Structures are given as C-alpha cells and as structure tokens.
Amino acid sequence: MQDRLDTLLDTLPRAYPGPGGAIAVLRAGEVLARHAWGYANAERRIPFTPRSLFRICSITKQFTCGVMLAHGEPEALDAAIRARLPLLEGPVPGARHLAHNQSGLRDYWAMAMLLGSPVEAPFGDLEAERLIGATRTLQFAPGTRFSYCNQNFRLLSDALEATTGRPFAELLARHVLEPAGMDTAILAADTRALPDGTEGYEGSQATGFRAAENRILWTGDAGLAASLDDMIAWERHVDATRDDPDAIYSRLSVPVAFADGSAAPYGFGLARGQEFGRAFTGHGGALRGWRSHRLHLAEERLSIVVLFNHMGDAAGATLDALAALLGETRPQPDPGLHSPAWLGSYREPETGLSARIDLAAPGQVRLRFGHGAERLDLQPDGSAGGARTRLHAGPDGLWMDRPQENFRTRLIPCEGAATPDIAGRYHCPEIDAELLVTTAGGVAYGGFSGALGLGRMEMLEPIGPDLWALPCPRALDHTPPGDWTLAFRREGGAVTGVQIGCWLARGLDYRRRA
C-alpha cells in the first residue's frame, strides 16, 4: 500500500496539473501522507504548504450543521427560518429540510442569473437577503425530493446568529474549529482574497492560468478557509470520537430519510454512498479557482482530503488515492458495447426540464439534465449508469432513476423540429424578471434581465417542438447552474408564454408581453 501511495504522490501533480495542490491521507488517525506542491500564489511566488489557507468551499456545509447540532435539535431554528421567508406560500421548510438539501428552495446563485446578474457582479448580504426574502413558491414539497441548494446553509448560519445573538464566525470557532484543533481555520466570507495571499486560478495547462475573480460573500454555505493541517486535525478528531454517539461527526453521519421513508443519500451537509463497495461519507467543494474533496470511510477508518487552488478534478484525485489505498482499480467503460437505440432528446414531465443524451466516448453516453453533464457507462443489459443516475429502456419507454433525489421518471421523447417564431419579451410576475428572445439574422438568442442587471444574450439551442435550451456558460459561482430549458406554450397557434428552469431553479412561469 505504501508503494502505491508513494507512486500516487509522485504522479498526482501532473495528472491534475495546476498552480498548486495538497493531499492528506489518514488511517486510524495516523497521517500516511501530508503533501503539498506548487504555488499558493504563482505571481508572488508563495509556495503551497500544508499551512497555506485554502477555500474548502462547500465542505463548509458539514461544519455549519455541526454548529447547529451543538445547539440542540434542528427544529430550534425553524422560527428564525420562517421569518426569513415572509412571502412563501404554503409549507415552509424547516432547518432539518435545509440541512438535508430537501427544502424545495431554488438556489440563489442560479436565480441571480434569471435576475440579470452579470457573471462578475458582486453578490453579498443585501443581494442574498433580497433573493431569499422574495421567495414565493418552492420547486417541490419539503422532504419529498433532493436538490442541491446553497442558501439552505446560508439560512442555517443566519438563523443561528439570530437565535444565539452571536456572529456565525464566533459560533463556528467555539463549537467546531477549536474542539477539533483546527488552529488556523477561519470564516473567510469575502471571497476576494485570503489573508495569507493564497490565490485561486482559472484556466488549464494548455491555455494558461489566471487569477480567478470571486465577488460572492459566502457564510454557512461555503465560507470556511482552512489549511491542509486544519483538515488533518478535523479527520483525526473524527476518528478519535468515532465511538461517541454524541460527538459531532457521529451526529452528522447518522442515516437520514425522505418524508416517504426512503433512505436519503445526503444529510447534514454530507453525502453518503459507496466507492469500491465501501460505505463513505464526504463532500466536495468548488468555487471559481478552487476545488476540494474529502472522503471518510468509517469502517476502514480511512480519510482522504484533496485541495487544489485551480479547477482540476479534486473528486477524481480523491478516488485515485482511495484506489491506491485499497489496491483497487477505478472501473472503466467497455468500448465494445453498442450504442443504444434510445439516444436523443427528451423532456422530463415533473420538472419540465429537457434531457439530452448522446455518445460521449466508446462505452459511454452523455446526459445533459442536471447541474452539469454526466457521463454514464453503458452496461451489458443495455442500460447506462453513473454515480447519480441510471437510464434504462422499458416496454413503455426510457426511464431515468436518480435515487439521491428520490426521483424516478419516464422521459418523454421530443420528436420534431423547434419552430423559430418565439421572439418576444416574456415576464415572470413571481420574480419580476424578464426574458428577451430575438431572432438576429434568423438565429434565436435569449437573455435575462431583472433587479440585478442585464444578462448577456446567448444563442439558443433547438431541442424539439417549442423546446429550446439557453446555455449558461459562466455564472457567479464556480460553474454555471446548467442549461436553462425554455418550454414555450401556445394558444391558437401563437406563443403566449414560456416555462423556464434548470435543475437548481425550475418551474418558473413567464408570460409573453410583446
């Protein structure tokens, strides 16, 4: 195992090239690897070390939930959450729903795109409060589905401040960071800079790297900055308290469920699943210029943390490390399997979103439905599957299973061509935002506008009859929220409106104005 780990440490920087990175591997609380390489700031020639601060991004979510559980049961925050959603019609999600990403809220940085936010615009407390407070409807009933939503955890940190009267940074330090011995970790909500000069980078080895532009103010959703040594301290604390049912990580990693009793693979800011047949808990983190990932295998008492100050595949690097530790090989697609007959374009009826399926590589298909494109490996039985999704044909059509979301659906084929008579202005009363569609030189373009500005025009992609995609190649956060599905409706043959949505923010109705 040590030989495999040594080989991994030698090859990892070139397998995932970028300005800098770090990895830690622990077993039973013992550090097997503590390695950093490259530069924390390439311009200022500051080396990346195990003490360099790093934005761990969404890994913050489990720490936010740890603070919440230190103050009792999640329901103690429900009243403070209701106060922040004064216009919401119908059931209001509770703190437990938020912690499990089962709230039904639309993600606020996806909503910012609908409100016309430029991709490099600042997004701080006022913008967040405005978007959250204006919420009128949910995209599903609380507890019934899963959808990743950053402001779930911002709401939790805001509610903790309101109920305790103390700043979230102080609560985080007192209840989680100090007990775990994370001596240099801090809440660094302002993403423009870190106090030690560590920088995050966009780009690639082929095109070159540049310092990433970040202007979002994150709190309980992605605001924590920590060094590799801080994360080592956290993993040792997790192992040292493993037999205490009242310890923070023991409470964070308990099994959770949906309202119908189905097991939920996500809860309290932690994903639950299996890799190489072993159960894990963990989470990834991503912000423009940063990628991170951690996995904890309780039965094996193994922990792996990978930190990149660039946008490489930290999750892939973590799995490479796990494979080296276990002596396993990451599964590869079978290039000999035939292309399935069900490739094409579909619409999912519950969400209203498009699902586009094409070949990605020999033995693999690409599904464009959720937050980002998924590569699914073809199987000998004619199905295709990946970490989150399975596609399989039945006698009544093509089915899509997404267990993490408590979601199974039959996809509706989109047969026929999209007609171009869709130009006009469309208004959404719920969020007071507008979509402009033009046909400039016979080519359809669309762009959003609203309280946050005037978004750029993007070329629309035809999918099927009255079904189009509006690409979102760049957004406030590390990656865009996914292509927007535009489903136009007609009365008497004339277009009268459009339903707009992506996986993070769906089911919004726009009416044609002109």
Q: Tokens 């600042």 label which residue?
A: 122
User: Residue 99: which of 222, 270, 229 has the closest Cα?
Assistant: 270
Active site residue 61: yes
Name the nearest CA neighbour of 140 among 486, 335, 361, 407: 407
Contact predicate 460/478, CB 8 Å: no
Q: How far, in Å, CA of 161 to CA of 83, rounded? A: 13
Which of the following is catalytic: 61, 117, 303, 354? Answer: 61
Can you name the residues that pair with 47 across neighbouring β-strands? Answer: 39
Q: How far apart are CA 266 and CA 233, in angstroms?
A: 24
Q: What's the one-letter identity of residue 288?
A: R
CA-to-CA dists, residue 108 to 118, 188, 414, angstroms: 14, 20, 30
Q: How far is CA 91 from the centre of its chain?
A: 25
Token pair 């309780």 is at which residue? Answer: 298
Instruction: Kindly list the strands in the beta sheet with 397-402, ordered across the sheet, starting from the edge strand earlier in the chain.
Output: 407-410, 397-402, 390-394, 384-385, 374-378, 364-368, 354-361, 344-347, 412-413
Q: CA 33, CA 304: separation in Å to the nearest integer?
A: 9
Query: Helices 151-164 and 60-70 meet at what angle, rounded to 10?
Result: 30
Q: 206: number of CA atoms within 13 Å, CB side?
A: 1
Mention every residue, 6+ apart, whose C-beta is less than 8 A from residue 432: 450, 451
The answer to whether residue 58 is catalytic is: yes
Which of 52, 58, 157, 227 is an active site residue?
58
Amino acid at 223: G
Q: Cβ distance 317 to 26 under 8 Å?
A: no
Q: Using the Cα atoms of residue 137, residue 142, residue 147 and residue 149 in order, give the sign of their dihedral.
A: positive
Exposed / middle / buried, residue 320 (Cβ in 10 Å: 0-12, 13-18, 19+): buried
Q: Which two tokens stand for residue 391?
A: 């596609």
Query: Residues with catalytic annotation?
Result: 58, 61
